[in-house]
Amino acid sequence: MKFFIDTASLEQIREAHSLGVLDGVTTNPSLMAKEGISGTDRIYKHYVDICGSVDGDVSAEVIATDLKGIISEGEHLASLHPNIVVKVPMIRDGVKAIKHFTDKGIRTNCTLVFSAGQALLAAKAGATYVSPFIGRLDDVSTDGLALIEQIRLIYDNYGLETQVLAASIRHPMHIVQCAELGADVATCPLNAILALFEHPLTAIGLEKFLADHRKASAAAAK
């Protein structure tokens, strides 16, 4: 399973990249706003900077919601860097735009997906990635992981090549469970990735190894 980081923070992207396990980045307008990035030119420059900080796909989301606007914005985003994947919302004009981008060889990520039917539409239009938001489903007492399982089954039934990109991940067990269910990608906040490193027995075991080594070295030095 590929690991993407879900942020527009260059600092966090660089930190995740330095771990050696990062395969890409996803952003959205809220994450860009959180970093104080606004205005078309600054936003485009920031995407180029992100592409320079990671070796992998970078999802850049369109703001337009009409077909003409999505197409023109998406084509511009795609021209910024070969690693840009145009992120398009799951709306009618979004799906039409995904079909247009697919025909032109522009890669897409269909976002704001909350049902298997929506995921089927995105795949039929040729989306490169589909982004089911599992945390937001959990937030409304619906099983987000069950949606990952359902989409995996449907895509496998028909050999649909759209990659399942589990999004809205909130904690490390979401990542592990997505891997068990066969998601192609998990896009995660940095703290969820870092939490995967942690286990009390690892910390206790390492402390003991080092203490024993110190003891043996001290005894040998006598």
List residues with catalytic annotation.
87
3-state secondary structure the chain: CEEEEECCCHHHHHHHHHCCCCCEEECCHHHHHHCCCCCHHHHHHHHHHHHHHCCCEEEEECCCCCHHHHHHHHHHHHHHCCCEEEEEECCHHHHHHHHHHHHCCCCEEEEEECCHHHHHHHHHCCCCEEEEEHHHHHHCCCCHHHHHHHHHHHHHHHCCCCEEEEECCCCHHHHHHHHHHCCCEEEECHHHHHHCCCCHHHHHHHHHHHHHHHHHHHHHHC
Site residues for ligand G3P, 12-41, by CB under 6 A, read 26, 28
* 168 part of the interface to ligand G3P, by CB under 6 A: yes
Stretch that binds ligand G3P, among 128-136, 157-165, 190-198, 201-209 (CB under 6 A): 128-136
* 4 part of the interface to ligand G3P, by CB under 6 A: no
Min dist CB 18 to ligand G3P, Å, is 22
Stretch that binds ligand G3P, among 40-48, 119-127, 131-139, 157-165 (CB under 6 A): 131-139
Given the complex with ligand G3P, which of 133 and 155 has the nearer CB atom?
133
* 118 part of the interface to ligand G3P, by CB under 6 A: no
Stretch that binds ligand G3P, among 78-86, 91-99, 130-138, 200-208 (CB under 6 A): 130-138
Given the complex with ligand G3P, which of 57 and 159 has the nearer CB atom?
57
Stretch that binds ligand G3P, among 45-53, 94-102, 133-141, 198-206 (CB under 6 A): 133-141
Min dist CB 37 to ligand G3P, Å, is 15
| Nearest alpha-carbon partner for 71 in 37, 106, 44 | 106
Query: What is d(CA 62, CA 74) in angstroms, rounded to the nearest whole number?
Result: 6
Given the complex with ligand G3P, which of 135 and 182 has the nearer CB atom?
135
Task: Judge contact between 91 and 59, C-beta under 8 A.
Answer: no
Cross-strand pairs, 59:
26, 85
Given the complex with ligand G3P, which of 191 and 202 has the nearer CB atom?
191
Min dist CB 102 to ligand G3P, Å, is 21
- Interface residue list for ligand G3P (CB under 6 A): 6, 26, 28, 133, 135-136, 167-168, 187
